[in-house]
Amino acid sequence: MKTILSWLTLVSMAVVISACSAVGANDGGAGESQIRAGKIEQISLTQMQTNHDSGVGAVLGGLGGLGIGSLIGRGTGRDVAMVAGALAGAVGGNYAEKKKYDQPVEAQQVIVRVRNGVLVSVTQPINPSLSKGMNVYIQGSGNEARVVPQG
């Protein structure tokens, strides 16, 4: 019992200490944000892979399989049917979710020459208001970067 209590104390202290770490400018906390401005050099159509790994299909499929498995047999056989139904339902639900929602979507790759002369490429959902030669802002960074018209 003492060993378990000491391990729990150690783990909780580690969690408390890690929660107190400083948040830097790159960690999504307070800090400077640079607004980049430039002119569109090129726009080309492409596709973006979506990221719908929410697990909702697996959970719903597992619950459905569990429900159906509970209708089969009695005693240990029923327990086995429930586990098998939950597993099969989870696999089937995950497959159905990926098949339906994890399809590539139409996107555009926008190449912007920022004011210091550097070219920046951003792949984003199609924004029909953008055109070649337009003055734009680049908002955000990394996968969250978006090109938006100035004004």
Query: Taking 90 as the threshold, does the pLDDT of residue 112 lie above it?
Result: yes
Residues making up the chain, counted from first to last = 151
Burial class (CB in 10 A: 0-12, 13-18, 19+), 142: exposed
Per-domain residue ranges of the chain: 32-49+104-149, 56-101
55-110 pLDDT per residue, tens: 788 888 888 888 888 888 888 888 888 888 889 888 888 888 877 776 777 889 99
Burial class (CB in 10 A: 0-12, 13-18, 19+), 146: middle
Quick one: DSSP state of residue 25? G
Q: How far is CA 55 from CA 7, 52, 66, 143, in A?
A: 32, 8, 16, 22
Distance CA(123)–CA(46), nearest Å, equals 8
At residue 15, the pLDDT reads: 57
CATH tag for 32-49+104-149 (out of 1.10.287, 1.10.3210, 2.60.40, 2.40.50): 2.40.50
13-68 pLDDT per residue, tens: 555 555 554 444 445 555 555 678 899 999 998 887 766 666 788 888 888 888 88
At residue 24, the pLDDT reads: 47
At residue 142, the pLDDT reads: 79
